[in-house]
A and B are shown apart, each in its own frame.
Chain A
């Protein structure tokens, strides 16, 4: 579980996060949603320790990241898997080396064991026979799946995903969403996904947190999001024509 208490963050003299308090449960897919510029990515970077909040605390289980020394933070980061918006695969390494990277860095396994684990996770993300290819030689969707494989190869406790669907076609986006949710349940990890994709909210949003201008304005499940009368939620959710029509049908049907 990750607990966030009154987190404030300034960038370039401007207050980006204005006192966020929430909890992200283990074994659930937690979504952070909001419009561009609402502070989602800054919040994510605070959660993973790339940004230090000016005020407030972020607890991993019962230990605040701000109270950890460098060694404890380093250990914590070994338990974190991260899926970046663009995949962030290492260009100079092939797929196998990319996925093996966390194992080489943090474990003392021999190459045979590492290779077996790499093949296992690549199979889990439905990618086989691409071990020797380089990131530039595979599609965007495949790169995202490799990135997921790299994120989970060292059996992390926490999985962070920054806009995992950006730049993907709807079918591949659904596939990635489903994969993230399945992995979350299978490995019983705390997953946090930053997105502005309403399809993701509908499909995998077991807990949804809505940010607006750096403030948390609503939180609940993907079922609750369509029932709430919160103005910020309705403005965000029904900003597209498709969802407006769904809303009209829902209201007609009572």
Chain B
């Protein structure tokens, strides 16, 4: 019963987010601030993880190729497929659920605890639009983060494959270009947009409707990570089933 209430409350929140808009000049400032906090602020960790996981994918693929008849270009092919289809959109989104999701929940939750949200409401401001809408807009730039993750993941695979002595550069690049299906990029970016929406709204809901004090802010941040990750994984399965099978 509580889950149904929560789902209902989440959709009611979405309705309020898109109602009674904040003054444009203020909203513009908030959106730029959120882009800086949520997108630019995540680039470092995303770049680091993407490069090294891409490298690990290439090494793992190479080490599991026992049959000498399998061409070395498969390392590039496997790296590309893993990075574009799953690692960059899904794995990075789970990491973002921890980084960005916890940040969103704790910042909104702290505002709730310290009556800052009440202050907005008393002033006649639609607090959900003021707080959540800029985050949704900012995270619509999230696919750019994923593009960087894809590029660095593949670069990491190339570095590990070539400089680790598992493949030649030519074979790796040949594998990258082999059987490329542009539709798979559409699939990857479609789900990236869905994950971005989940990343912006689920942690916001957790923070906005939390009750209690500082301890509950911590609990809400943990719940936020758990539920955002669960929803990303579930959405990933559904989208894959619908678009690829």
Contact = CB atoms under 8 A, between A and B. Distances in A.
Interface of A: 48, 50, 70, 73-78, 80, 82, 84-86, 88-91, 101-102, 104-106, 160
B115 A105 contact: no
A91 B111 CA distance: 8
13 contacts: A50-B118, A73-B124, A77-B123, A80-B122, A86-B114, A90-B116, A91-B114, A101-B123, A104-B26, A105-B22, A105-B125, A106-B123, A160-B122
A101 B130 CA distance: 13
B23 A91 contact: no
B185 interface: no
Contacts of B118: 50, 84, 88
Interface in B90-116: 110-111, 114-116
Contacts of B20: 70, 74
Given A74-B124, A77-B123, A91 B115 contact: no
Contacts of A76: 124
Interface of B: 20, 22-23, 25-26, 110-111, 114-116, 118-119, 121-125
Contacts of B111: 90-91
Contacts of B124: 73-78, 80
A48 B122 contact: yes
Contacts of A75: 124
A77 B122 contact: yes
B63 to A, nearest CB: 48
Contacts of A105: 22-23, 26, 123, 125
Contact of A91 (B26, B116, B122): B116
A85 B115 contact: yes
A125 B23 CA distance: 28
A83 B240 CA distance: 51
B110 A82 contact: no
A148 to B, nearest CB: 13
B119 A88 contact: yes
Contacts of B125: 105
A88 B123 contact: no
B114 A88 contact: yes
A84 B123 contact: no
Contacts of B115: 84-86, 88
B125 to A, nearest CB: 6
Contact of A104 (B23, B116, B121): B23
B114 A78 contact: no
A75 B124 CA distance: 7
B26 A82 contact: no
Nearest to A156: B123
A82 B114 contact: no
A76 B125 CA distance: 12
Specify which of B110, B111, B115, B124 lies most central, judged by the most chain A CB atoms within 10 Å of its CB.
B124
